[in-house]
Amino acid sequence: MATTKYSDSIGSSAASFSSEKDFTLRRSEETTSSDSTDSLRKDYGDVEAQKQPTLPVEHQVSLRSKMLFLVAYFLLNLALTLSNKAVLGKARFPWLLTTLHTSSTSIGCFLLFGFNSLELTHLTSRENLTLVAFSFPFTFNIAISNVSLAAVSVPFHQIMRSTCPIATIAIYRTVYSRSYSSATYLSMVPLILGVALATAGDYYCTLAGFTLTLLGVVLSAIKTVATNRLMTGSLTLSAMEVLLRMSPLATIQCVLYAFLTGEVSSFRIAYAEGQFSNSFGTALLANAVIAFTLNMTSFQTNKVAGALTMTVCGNVKQVLTIGLGIVLFNVQVGWLNAVGTVVTILGAVFYSKVELDAKKRRVVAGAAEEGRTRDLL
C-alpha cells in the first residue's frame, strides 16, 4: 500500500513537472514569437525610413502660410522699389544705399538679439567660414549687376535675369540631385517669354556685357539657393540669425565698393554743399525700415516657399513693377509689353497650380503608404 502511494506521488510529481515544462515552453515560444514580430516591425520601419527621404522644408509648409509670406514679400518689395526710386532720384549713390540697407538690417537684428528675441546657434570654425564665403556672392552679385548694366541694354539685362529659375533648377539637379516634373519645366516657358515681351525694347550687348550678365544670373541663383540651404540644410539657422551673421559682413563689403567707385567722396561733396534736406533724411529713415522688414520677410519666404519659387516671384515682380510704373508714373508701353505682363502672370499661376498638384500627390502617396504599413503590421 505504501508502495502504491509512493508510485502515485511520483506519477503526480512527474505529471506536474511535465505540465510546468510544457507551460514554460509555450511561454518561451510566445515570447520568441513576440520578439520576432517586434523585430520584424522595427526592421520594416527602418527600411521604410530609409526608403522615404526627408521632404524639403517648403513641401512641409501649408499653402496658406506660403501665400501670406509671398504677399508680404511682394508688397514690401514694391514699397522698397518706390522708395529706392525716390532716394536715387535725389542722390545717385547705389552702393551707399545698399550699405544703408545692410547696416539697418544689422542694427535691427542686433536690437532683437538684445531683447532676447533670438538665440544664436553654436557654430564650428568651418561653419563660420561657410557663412563668410556666402557673404561674397551676396554682395558680388550686386556689383556684377551694376557693372553689366553699363555694357548691355536694360531690356536685355531683364531678359537675362528672368532665366534665374532655370539656373536655380540646374543647381538643385546638379548639386542636390533634386528632380522636377515635366510640368514644372513647362511652366518656365511663359515665365521667361512673358518677361521678354514685357520688357521688349532696344536689345544690345557686348561680349563682356553678356558674360557679366550671365555670371550675375548664376550668382543670383547661387545666392538664393545658398540662403535656403543655410536655413533648411544641416545648419537649420533661422532667417533672423542668417541676417544677423551676414549683414555686418555685407555692410563692410558694400562700404569698400562705395570707396572704390568714388561714391563716398562724391557724397561728402554733396553733403558739404547742402544738397540734402531734412525731408530727404526722413525718406532715408523710411527706406531703411522698409529694407530691414523686407530682408526679414524675404529670407523667411525663401525658407517656407523655396528657392525656385523665390526666383519665379522675381520674374513676376519685374512685370508688376512695369504695371506700377504705368499707374503711378504714366510710363508708356506698347501692346507687346502688356501681352508680356499677362503671359508672365499666367505663367506664375500655372507654376502655382503645378506646385499645388504636386503637394496633393505627395499627401495622397503618403496616406497610401501609411495604410499599407498598417496592413502589413
Encode pLDDT of 90-135 as tens digits: 888 988 998 999 999 999 999 999 888 888 888 888 888 888 887 7
Q: Which pLDDT does position 108 carry in this prediction?
A: 93
Q: Which pLDDT does position 90 carry in this prediction?
A: 87
267 Cβ contact partners less than 8 Å away, ≥ 6 residues apart: 91, 93, 96
Give me the sign of the Cα torsion angle 298, 304, 308, 313.
negative
The neighbouring-strand residues paired with 305 are none
Distance CA 159, CA 87 (A): 26
Q: Which pLDDT does position 220 carry in this prediction?
A: 87
Distance CA 55, CA 178 (A): 11
Distance CA 377, CA 372 (A): 9
Contact 242, 120 (CB under 8 A): no
Distance CA 187, CA 177 (A): 20
Q: What are phi and psi of 205, to 5 degrees?
A: -160, 155
Question: Which portions of the chain are predicted below pLDDT 70?
Answer: 1-56, 58-59, 146, 149-150, 329-332, 363, 366-377
Contact 302, 224 (CB under 8 A): yes
**What are the grid coordinates assigned to 324, written together?**
506700377
- In which residue are the cell numbers 511663359 written? 190
**What are the grid coordinates assigned to 5, written together?**
502511494
Contact 56, 306 (CB under 8 A): yes
Domain ranges of the chain: 59-365
Distance CA 87, CA 101 (A): 12
